[in-house]
Amino acid sequence: MHAHSDGRPTERKLMARKSSRSTSFDVAALAGVSQSVVSRAFTPGSRIADETRTRVLEAALKLNYVPNSIASSLTTKRTNIVALIIGNLDNPFYVHVLHTFSRRLQEQGRQVLIFTVEPNSESDEAIMHLLKYQVDGVVLTAAQLSTRMISLCHDRGIPIVLFNRYIPGSDASGVRCDNVAGGALIAEAFLAAGAQNFALITGDLKGTTSGDRVRGFVERLLDGGVKRSNIVEVHGHSSYEGAFNATIKLIRDKNRVRPDALFGVNDIMAMGAIDALRHRLGLRVPDDIMVGGFDDIPEGRRLPYQLTTVRQPIEQMVNETLSILHLDDPTEPIARGIDRPIKGRLIWRHTIPVPPAYRGEADVTKSED
Amino acid sequence: MHAHSDGRPTERKLMARKSSRSTSFDVAALAGVSQSVVSRAFTPGSRIADETRTRVLEAALKLNYVPNSIASSLTTKRTNIVALIIGNLDNPFYVHVLHTFSRRLQEQGRQVLIFTVEPNSESDEAIMHLLKYQVDGVVLTAAQLSTRMISLCHDRGIPIVLFNRYIPGSDASGVRCDNVAGGALIAEAFLAAGAQNFALITGDLKGTTSGDRVRGFVERLLDGGVKRSNIVEVHGHSSYEGAFNATIKLIRDKNRVRPDALFGVNDIMAMGAIDALRHRLGLRVPDDIMVGGFDDIPEGRRLPYQLTTVRQPIEQMVNETLSILHLDDPTEPIARGIDRPIKGRLIWRHTIPVPPAYRGEADVTKSED
DNA sequence: TTGAAAGCGCTAACAT
DNA sequence: ATGTTAGCGCTTTCAA
């Protein structure tokens, strides 16, 4: 930096401004080495004598020096920041997802820049922001995104992967639960338990997730000989409240027979449905009507619910996502058009009577997660 | 975006690497202006002819140019990034807090860097990381932090405020609910409802939050003539499960009379207690034992719980926090030692019988939040 | 109003 | 192993 004189020119910056952060130059001066040595001292595999490194580190400690990542990003072109766009924190499932990503990424020494977008609004604006911050990668979950933005990211060399969502035919990559198969799992459970009239509470209509679960569910029922007219669909808006209200309307509809099985396309909706059934409609679950969910959120395991559901293997899905991102070697070309469906598993609890064939599988108490 | 010919000497950078991001120089070249004009075009209040600005903006659009915030931070010394350290995403209250901060900050065009720390671990490491990223401010909630780290931040000119926590005698600033007064509110409700034997499920012992609520609660009871021996305390570890287990142990303890009022020091614990009481211990709430909570999380408003609780005014607390941070003028000296307690409000629902004096206040149905 | 030039704090060749 | 030097992409004087 500027003028400094003779032997130990440490004073200058130290006296400078009250809260000024010290730089590698200050440390270099104090340690009596060149600035690049300081840089090396903080770079794991670099050529530097152990003895020098400790001396530098000591000096750094004395000056409360912390390397400026912003500055280093400028040259390395890596920020070690991953953006997470998340569209629905009201569903504990996504909180869990957030937590899992955050933990993993922190373990790797990466930072998470979070963007919450309101349900049903696009994330395009968020993308513009994170583009400015040169993030190393983007994970998008429970939110919409235009394909234009996806290619904008890709063009700039920023990989983006959709979590629990995919855009057929686009070149966005995604990791998701095998929702079709999962929906079928619930259908099978209902069938095995002897249900005959079915209701579905659907979620977000824009994504593929809800649609796939519905499809897998319905197809399996039809395969099982159920008539299409014995399957009703109502819209639960992916939320507890939406499902709660939809359930009340559904059951009070005098024009149709009451379903004896209800599939909440995600757990939080299944919970809303259960509460409506029990506390508003005076019905017993599963005696009067059985209920199935999807996700396996911890809340669904609690005693008031004990929800039979399909477990999404979050850890595994997060790992897949991260591996597609290729965070640690940016030279790797961006993975395009990958659609990685991962099988979920049926967890038997108490909202669907366990048929004899399945006894012993039931997870009656708490989680083992 | 490759080749294009003619006059404008745009080619240089454009042809460079495949996914290279274009810089202000590229835009300048295409628009036929100097690089500093491009910078001005993207700086709101700067001196630049309208006509020039539009021309630059058009060029930028054509090149998919997005200003590099990392680079600008280097000179401006502002990143527009705020770090949020959050210690407990298992409690929906803090998810709500996170969401509120995130929304507010995004409205202001700021980014949120999130750090999740495991319960009972210190956030010191997180601080070291965010120091590297030169964040403009730090909010810490539901987590521990050494005073050493606080002064480290302060020394570097990074303001930090504790949300719902304070460290007496330190110069960290904090915003919190008036927990002592809130605890007293629940005590009063119990007293008014005629309770005589009290139990407390306490939370995190390290923070002040749980302790303050306990203190306010106990003091108010003693004031009301309750004997100290009629108040039991058990540890619920701030979690649903912790409270669930603690409640079972407490009630099954044959050596003491069964309490007729139980204060879960936060809602999630009150919910755990309620589930244990009803589904494990066969007790009715509030008939056999009344329950009070704290926070007013949406989950507590649901029909299986309808929890009487103290509402924390999150929006207001977030606003206070942000204002203490002085994000928009960094010249402002860092606020030290501020402790801003904000009054909570008792929300009557169904887990404490509503005494005649309070009728009409009851919030029987859903939220108005 | 615009342009030229000097950094911001760091990394990465390239010399030594 | 260490020092020197040239940037990274931007903002910000200072001149024109």
pLDDT digits (tens, 9 = 90+) for B32-89: 999 999 999 999 988 999 999 999 999 999 999 999 999 999 999 999 999 999 999 9
Centre a 10 Å sphere on the Cβ of residue B43 and count the other Cβ atoms it contains. Answer: 12
pLDDT, tens only, B145-166: 888 899 999 999 999 999 998 8
B110 touches B84 (CB < 8 A): no
pLDDT, tens only, B91-139: 999 999 999 999 999 999 999 999 999 877 888 989 999 999 999 999 9
For residue A341, what pLDDT is reported?
Answer: 96
- Give the C-alpha separation, A234 to A252, whole Å: 13
For residue A363, what pLDDT is reported?
Answer: 57
The answer to which of A263-277, B3-17, B321-335 has the lowest mean pLDDT is: B3-17
- Give the C-alpha separation, A317 to A366, whole Å: 23
Q: How far does the CA of B67 sit from the C1' of C12, in Å?
A: 24
Q: Which residue of B has its CA nearest to A61?
A: B152
At A175, phi and psi to the nearest 5? -120, 135
- Look at A113 and B116 and tell me if their CB atoms are within 8 Å: no
The answer to which of A329-338, B241-250, B307-316 has the lowest mean pLDDT is: A329-338
Residues of A in contact with B95 (CB under 8 A): 89, 92, 95
Share of chain A above pLDDT 90, in %: 80
* pLDDT at B288 > cutoff 50: yes
DSSP state of B228: G
B175 touches B162 (CB < 8 A): yes
Q: CA B172 from chain center: how many Å? A: 16
Return the SS3 of A238: coil
Q: How far does the CA of A97 sit from the C1' of C13, in Å?
A: 42
The answer to which of A124-128, B67-71, B274-278, B312-316 has the lowest mean pLDDT is: A124-128
Q: CA B294 from chain center: how many Å? A: 15
The answer to which of A131-135, A244-248, B204-208 has the lowest mean pLDDT is: B204-208
Q: Chain A: nearest CA to B288, how far in angstroms?
A: 18
For residue B122, what pLDDT is reported?
Answer: 81
Q: How far does the CA of B325 sit from the C1' of D15, in Å?
A: 39
Q: Tokens representing B336? A: 């030290």
Q: How far does the CA of A125 sit from the C1' of D7, in Å?
A: 32
In this structure, the strands spanning A290-292 and B111-116 are unpaired
Residues written for chain A: 369
- Look at B89 and A73 and tell me if their CB atoms are within 8 Å: no
- Look at B73 and A69 and tell me if their CB atoms are within 8 Å: no
The answer to which of A18-22, A303-307, B83-87, B270-274 has the lowest mean pLDDT is: A18-22
For residue A48, what pLDDT is reported?
Answer: 93
- Give the C-alpha separation, A335 to A136, whole Å: 14
Q: How confident is the model at residue B19 (pLDDT cuts 50, 70, 90)?
A: low
A320 touches A342 (CB < 8 A): yes
For residue A367, what pLDDT is reported?
Answer: 39
Residues written for chain B: 369
**What radius of gyration do chain B's Cα atoms show?**
27
Kindly list the structural domains of chain B, giving each domain's residue range(s) and its CATH number in brackets, ordered by start: 24-67 (1.10.260.40), 79-176+315-342 (3.40.50.2300), 178-313+345-367 (3.40.50.2300)
* pLDDT at A368 > cutoff 80: no
What percent of chain A is helix, strand and coil (3-state, nearest 5)?
40, 15, 45
Chain C positions within 7 A of any protein Cβ atom are 1-5, 7-13
* pLDDT at B296 > cutoff 70: yes
The residue-averaged pLDDT of B332-360 equals 92
B12 CB below 7 A from strand D atoms = no
DSSP state of A64: T
Q: Tokens representing B10? A: 């745009």
- Give the C-alpha separation, B248 to B289, whole Å: 13
Q: Whole-angstrom distance between the N-terminal and C-terminal Cα of chain A? A: 55
- Give the C-alpha separation, A294 to A200, whole Å: 12
* pLDDT at B20 > cutoff 90: no
Q: In Å, what is the CA distance from B52 to each residue of A303, B8, B11, B35, B37?
A: 66, 16, 21, 12, 8
Return the SS3 of B238: coil
For residue B32, what pLDDT is reported?
Answer: 96
In this structure, the strands spanning B160-163 and B137-141 are parallel
Q: How confident is the model at residue B299 (pLDDT cuts 50, 70, 90)?
A: very high
- Give the C-alpha separation, A198 to A291, whole Å: 10
Higher local confidence (pLDDT), B72 or B366 = B72
A190 touches A222 (CB < 8 A): no
For residue B16, what pLDDT is reported?
Answer: 29
For residue A9, what pLDDT is reported?
Answer: 33
A14 CB below 7 A from strand C atoms = no
For residue B301, what pLDDT is reported?
Answer: 97
The residue-averaged pLDDT of B168-193 equals 95
Q: CA B1 from chain center: how many Å? A: 44
pLDDT, tens only, A278-303: 999 999 999 999 999 999 999 999 99
For residue B90, what pLDDT is reported?
Answer: 96
- Give the C-alpha separation, B23 to B16, whole Å: 12
* pLDDT at A36 > cutoff 60: yes
Q: How confident is the model at residue A261 (pLDDT cuts 50, 70, 90)?
A: very high
For residue A334, what pLDDT is reported?
Answer: 92
In this structure, the strands spanning A137-141 and A81-86 are parallel
Higher local confidence (pLDDT), A148 or B271 = B271
In this structure, the strands spanning A111-116 and B111-116 are antiparallel
B70 touches B34 (CB < 8 A): no
- Give the C-alpha separation, B324 to B310, whole Å: 24
Q: Which residue of A has its CA nearest to B117?
A: A103
Predicted TM-score of the model (pTM):
0.92
Q: What angle do CA A196, A197, A201 make, to 5 degrees?
A: 135
For residue B363, what pLDDT is reported?
Answer: 57
For residue B193, what pLDDT is reported?
Answer: 96
- Give which of A310, A233, A302 is closest to A267, Cα–Cα: A310
- Look at A111 and B128 and tell me if their CB atoms are within 8 Å: no
Strand order in the sheet with A231-235: A231-235, A198-202, A261-264, A290-292
For residue A19, what pLDDT is reported?
Answer: 57
Residue-averaged pLDDT of chain A? 91
- Give the C-alpha separation, A220 to B245, whole Å: 41
- Give which of A5, A72, A4 is closest to A38, Cα–Cα: A72
